[in-house]
Amino acid sequence: MRAVVQRVSACAVTVRAEVVAHIDEGVLAYVSVEPADDEQDADYLADKIVNLRIFPDAQGKMNLSALSARKELLVVSQFTLHADARKGRRPSYDGAASPAEAEPLYRRFLELVAAKGITPQAGVFGAFMEVTYTNRGPVTILLDSKRLF
């Protein structure tokens, strides 16, 4: 599984002109599943995201996690994180799991995040979504459960 994690001061997801999820200060996480992923990958990412120390402490040092700072989390499924654009100009999405494979693990990921102490807001799996946010910092971190980067 892969994720792009951003520290945000506000975030909202809209589907067909309806806001389906929103948070104030917290974390926006785009999450993608590949065919070889399993619950261990989901648990690794869930733990990493809720405990990633990207919020400032009293001295202004990024030393607090979303969990310890009591921040919110909004999760958006995004298969394009597994795009391969090394050849040609049209990315290949063969590295992403099919929706039938990805959705159960994505749902399990949301459950694991909740079990770790943050009830996540979420976009609509497989929908065309408009995501609006203000990246605070900016802080953007790439994560991969296989630890490729």
Domain residue spans in the chain? 2-137
CATH match for 2-137 among 3.50.80.10, 1.20.950.20, 3.30.2000.10, 3.40.640.10? 3.50.80.10
- Give the pLDDT confidence score for residue 87 in this predicted structure: 95
- Give the pLDDT confidence score for residue 128 in this predicted structure: 98
C-alpha dihedral (94, 97, 99, 100), degrees to nearest 10: 130
Q: Can you list the residues of the chain whose pLDDT is less than 50?
A: none
- Give the pLDDT confidence score for residue 18 in this predicted structure: 98
- Whether 93 and 78 have beta carbons less than 8 Å apart is answered as no
Active site residues: 78-80
